[in-house]
Structure 1
Amino acid sequence: MPALLPSAYVVPVLLLLASNVFMTFAWYGHLKYKSAPLAMAILVSWGIAFFEYTLMVPANRMGSGVYSVVQLKTIQEILTLVVFAGFSAWYLGQPLKWNHYAAFALIVGAAFLMFYDGSGTAS
């Protein structure tokens, strides 16, 4: 059986990253346009979310070949926080504070534990 290529590990993560960019805009992008009608915000968000799904579903399909479902979800959540942190500061003009960074550091620690297999190495 051939060894798994590094791309088998990397491509799902890149797809998850891209899908999170779309989903962050779908969920929060309308906050910059609060005067737009709610129905329009919902329809535009649905349209953006369609592209998120076209990336998320293949990412999870491909990623499940090399990661456990729990690991995939952990990767997705970490990427969500990273993308949201940048989006919040750059697009919405709401920079992060020290306590946000501290909370993210704790979540990264939790992610490490998710990948730790107990043998002294990360799986």
Structure 2
Amino acid sequence: MLRTIVLLLLSNIFMTFAWYGHLKFKETALWKVILASWGIAFLEYCLQVPANRYGHQYFSAAQLKILQEVITLVVFAGFSIFYLKEGIRWNYLVAFGLIVLAVFFMFKKW
């Protein structure tokens, strides 16, 4: 179970850089950042696919997806603050809290 979470965390770090890392290099030709992003995304897939394969032993597909979304938001928040130097607003925190609430409902045994 921990292996799944670690792989999801690492894969989301790669994917966040693939999708948003180029924003600091706006002077670089678009085709170059697309190729670089695809290369980074390949590494993300090399982690994401095993994460889902291993994780499906413990979690349903829906649980894996919501877990991945929360990890994505945590990674993106850190990335946005520390790499892009953008702030987090109160409404972002409210939205994140609602997604955490979704995790509660997804994993709660009813």
Instruction: Calculate the TM-score normalised by the size of structure 2.
Output: 0.98
Deviations 1:65-89 (A, max 9, x none): 0100000001100000000000001
Which structure shows the higher helix fraction? 2
Q: Give structure 1 regions of 4+ aligned residues with deviation exceeding 4 angstroms.
A: none
Q: Distance in 1 between matches of 2:33 and 2:82?
A: 20
Aligned length: 110
Q: Residues of 1 paired with 2:99 and 2:64: CA distance?
A: 15
Tell me, which stretches of 5 or more residues in structure 2 are unaligned? none
Aligned to 2:38: 46
After superposition, residues 59-74 of structure 1 pair within 5 angstroms as 59-74=51-66
Q: Aligned partners of 1:48 and 1:24: how far apart in 2?
A: 9
Match of 1:30, SS? helix
- Structure 1's unaligned 5+ residue stretches are 1-8, 119-123
Larger Rg, first or second structure (1 or 2):
1
Q: Structure 1 CA distance, aligned partners of 2:72 and 2:87? A: 16
Query: With CA pairs under 8 Å and 6+ residues apart, which has the higher RCO, 1 or 2?
Result: 2
Q: Normalising by structure 1, what TM-score?
A: 0.88
In the TM superposition, residue 24 of structure 1 has moved relative to its aligned partner by 0.0
